[in-house]
Amino acid sequence: MFKSLAILLAVMSAVLIVDQAIKNIFLEGWRYYTDYIDLILVFNKGVAFSMFSFLAESLKWLQLALLAGVVAYTLWLKENRYLIPTGIMVGAGLSNVADRFMHGGVVDYVYWHYGFNFAVFNFADVMIDIAVVWLIILNYTVKKA
């Protein structure tokens, strides 16, 4: 159990630190504009595509509870193969929740606008997507004994 918790915490910490470092660059004023992607600063009060922004202050507490549940469930499963993708997802989620506490919204900065206007997102959002796909693949693959 201690080894599993250590792996989970190490991965979570690494993702959180990297994400916060990138966000700090944009908080300090750095911007970059191209014909396809702009790197700008936007504060998202909701989740993906600003959904649930009506929850306001309650959203960060709900997200913390969900992340705690994911960690507890992963440790309860005692399946080491879930530790890294869960650590990635929870570390990224905690980074976005930390933004809500520190800045009143999630710090987003990648704006894709080639061909269509896409939502503004960040490194943590990409890490969450990768982790979810990884977990789905793990869930539907046969565990080798």
DSSP string, 84-110: HHHHHHHHHHHHHHHHHHHHSSEEEEE
Say what the pLDDT of residue 65 is. Answer: 96
93 belongs to a structural domain: yes
46 belongs to a structural domain: yes
Number of domains in the chain: 1
145 belongs to a structural domain: no
Say what the pLDDT of residue 145 is. Answer: 57
Active site residue 19: no
Active site residue 38: no
14 belongs to a structural domain: yes
21 belongs to a structural domain: yes
Catalytic residue among 35, 38, 99, 108: 108
Mean pLDDT throughout 32-42? 95
Stronger pLDDT, 54 or 87, i.e. the higher one: 87
pLDDT tens digit sequence for 70-101: 999 999 988 899 999 999 999 999 999 999 99
Q: Quick check: 22 pLDDT over 80? A: yes
Phi-psi region of 56 (alpha: psi -120 to 50; beta: other; left: phi over 0): left
Catalytic residue among 19, 99, 125, 129: 125
CB-based contact 41:110 (threshold 8 Å): no
Say what the pLDDT of residue 131 is. Answer: 98
Domain containing 114 equals: 2-139
Say what the pLDDT of residue 116 is. Answer: 79
Say what the pLDDT of residue 102 is. Answer: 96
**Confidence (pTM):** 0.89
83 belongs to a structural domain: yes
Say what the pLDDT of residue 52 is. Answer: 59
